[in-house]
Structure 1
């Protein structure tokens, strides 16, 4: 897409953009597009790109709407999911646009929005998993199938509900422990943003920058997996459209792709974010987890079920980081081949840390006495499940990372 100066404060923007969500609509009097384009004098690649505002209708000096700008929808994409959102191909035929920020520095300006969008997509990942989980729980309690291996739990019925079966429980606990941990992680991220923006907290700013690819990539990968698992609880009915579970899977799939595909998020984490500020944010994260463990090791209710697994997982993550430091410069493929595993490791450690924080709060509340004991006991049981059944995945990811690039890059391209 090209932007040519008009001789005043505007540019003529010409080109085509794809994957534009809600590229046109009638819900507002005007539609304003943010458009990346090359202006004269821009260098090669993304470094020479500028950012422009291109309105559907030009705006007069008095604020009223003027003539139609030559920007139009060329096509609405036929997609796998998110059918409630019209994804458009947009054509700009000499449309009037106005420069945002500095000339040839549009990517820097665009990434302000992109980073915020990535955090929102991370929220979308666990939110879709939560909605799918709620449906799966309702179905598992209602659907009668088979008998519990320990003896019938519904003697008056023809069968027991699905929820009595251990493998159904496994799937539901996977989902429940993920969505509750991810919710805490997301809100902790929001807390860091508030501290960075409102208080000028550089520590919080560094942490949220480090964790943005994890929030986006890990939570949407896992969110999709949980939506598929919720569909699995339904058995064959999960594959039938009228039950609605296939829509959760279809709609969750895009979150792994847009606002930066998750493989790119992992590369950003390993290639840029770990080394940012000389590695200070990463070291600060490890120190924060280490301090929490040290300060609470005397609490026996936390130590075995929560602190010991968190300590082991954190050591796995640090070992992976050390592998990258020792091997990344001499063999970049060794780091890049393990980047997705590292992102998932980091996500598991973050959720493990969240579960340890929640366990501390719930155990202290129970010790002090509460009228809502069931809630806190359930929270502790869910957290113990995550620490015992999900967090140990860090060991698997570490083994993959330490295998290096050779298993990944061994074949010539012609062998595929």
Structure 2
């Protein structure tokens, strides 16, 4: 959540030979993929500051999970299938899934004025008569700030400062839903909604509020019920009980050698507070790859910024990549964890990578790991297709 969005096309590098790999096969050999994942995981934790990693892959119906490294430096103890991870802004794609479901059920309209779901007057949530609409929240084109309260944006401006986690905890120590809705009155929309990309976790929190209003259930209960029914995901949590908290992954912020605290609780938690195990995220990969009606709706481009980059229901949609084809991806980051999810229909492939360290170079290291996996799968499929 706290790592600034980048257009991935500027940082994805593939070899010229693999760019030509456009041939796929109905059935491709997978006997070596487990070894490939092991090698990629081992290479990933060789990067400076990275202690451990977990990788989940679903490829043409087969699931793989690998854990490497030690959760704490100098202490034997790798992550396991029971480890609960903070998935940061990947939480937004879950909120997008719920909203796609609400749209298909005709509970919410994409062009609804968000003020339909707010009590009281919010004359500020418009620009020259054009209101903020639900689709603007989902596509990060609302003009809302990244975070509410405003102080949080100041804290996150220097993300790698060792004081940042503590300061963030202080900002949200007593900041609840009523505070968020109060501060929403103070927001100024500076441009026409739907035009400019401006990443907004505040917009995701407002999506959670809208879902609560239309379903008359608290967001976490709604999230767990929908994911259980649609994807068989029973272990997703926003708030943890004592036993669950004991399974939460320890993590490191920037280059601080001491473990840091978890991400503080946000008003609804939809933008960055979801916790899940890797097996639960593998279920999510399978759900995404099955591409049922809700997933298809959530992957629908709501705003196209250029021929190669669009945004759906919080999903970043990248086109024009000769190796990957059209794919759907999202980064997640909190002060002690970063992760990526990639859905690559061209290969019937889903990848989830997470590490318990969060710094300036963490995302690049994970992107390189994902690229390596895709390159190897592409090469394998090309060889199978030409055999």
Q: TM-score, normalised by structure 1?
A: 0.26
Q: TM-score, normalised by structure 2?
A: 0.27
The structure with higher relative contact order (CA 8 Å, sep 6+) is 2
Question: Which one has the largest radius of gyration?
Answer: 1
